[in-house]
């Protein structure tokens, strides 16, 4: 919240490279396992905009996947594996793979999926999908990764390669959210849409929700923006 208050005044994120963010956060196993990942998991049930995003995921993506004859999916930037767990639990015929560059995220995700008995239908991979592309799947999930990158479009193009023709992807971004590991500042959903289009995706539907109301007119607040694309 201190970072967010500073952002309200400066309207920019402090300069930080991806290498710096990775060293401070993603590769800091103690911080990831004891603070970052548990907090991220809880945020989807305590923060209204994250919870509403989960509901959008269920109705706009999981429901469509339930009707599919190809219920194989991949989640890139798996974090806690909450979205993967949601698909595996709601679609008993589904199988999935998770991908993340953080050893702690991979460990946390495995434990999470194992704790609910869904691990036989899921594999977890410590993998950079730009350096090592994933095998294409008909259903793709990527939640709040773009703002962590210096070049989001390059990453989105790698995601596009991982989506089979006729497949659908659920991609989200955090806007105006000054977290320690947020590098790329998205100010509105149109900026994310422009990057999705540049990477070759076509928008089907989208969703935006605010974390809270602005303290005064014109003050930027954190937003969750989600997109179903093909």
Q: Which pair of tokens denotes residue 184?
A: 């790329």
Task: Say if CB 44 and CB 54 are below 8 A apart.
Answer: yes
DSSP letter, residue 127: -
Model confidence, pTM: 0.97
Query: Tell me, what's the pLDDT at 225?
Result: 98
Contact 176, 223 (CB under 8 A): yes
Strand partners, 205: 228
The alpha carbon torsion through 61, 96, 82, 91 (nearest 10 deg) reads 60
Q: Is 27 exposed, middle or buried (0-12, 13-18, 19+ CB in 10 A)?
A: middle
CA dihedral 140, 105, 125, 208 (to 10 degrees): 10
For residues 77-93, one letter each, b for 16 or more C-beta atoms within 10 angstroms of the residue's C-beta and e for the rest, the string is bbbbbbbbbbbbeebee
Instruction: Please tell me the predicted confidence (pLDDT) of residue 52.
Output: 98
Q: Which residues of the chain have pLDDT under 50?
A: none
Instruction: For residues 215 and 8, give the distance between their C-alpha atoms in angstroms, rounded to a whole number.
Output: 10
- Supply the pLDDT for residue 87: 98
In order of their start, the domains of the chain are: 2-229 (3.40.50.150)
């Amino acid at each position: 919240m201190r970072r967010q208050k500073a952002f309200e005044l400066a309207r920019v994120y402090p300069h930080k490279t991806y290498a710096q963010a990775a060293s401070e956060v993603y590769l800091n196993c103690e911080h990831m396992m004891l603070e970052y990942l548990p907090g991220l998991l809880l945020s989807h049930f305590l923060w209204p905009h994250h919870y509403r995003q989960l509901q959008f995921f269920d109705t706009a993506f999981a429901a469509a996947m339930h009707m599919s004859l190809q219920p194989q999916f991949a989640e890139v930037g798996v974090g806690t594996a909450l979205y993967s767990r949601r698909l595996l639990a709601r679609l008993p015929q589904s199988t999935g793979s998770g991908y993340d560059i953080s050893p702690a995220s991979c460990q946390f995700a495995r434990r999470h999926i194992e704790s609910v008995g869904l691990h036989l239908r899921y594999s977890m991979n410590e993998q950079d999908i730009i350096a090592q592309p994933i095998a294409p799947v008909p259903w793709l999930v990527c939640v709040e990764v773009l703002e962590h990158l210096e070049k989001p479009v390059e990453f989105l193009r790698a995601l596009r390669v991982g989506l089979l023709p006729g497949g659908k992807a659920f991609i989200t971004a955090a806007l105006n959210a000054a977290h320690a590991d947020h590098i790329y500042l998205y100010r509105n959903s149109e900026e994310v849409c422009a990057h999705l289009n540049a990477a070759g995706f076509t928008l089907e539907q989208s969703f935006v929700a605010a974390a809270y109301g602005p303290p005064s007119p014109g003050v930027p607040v954190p937003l969750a923006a989600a997109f179903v694309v093909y």
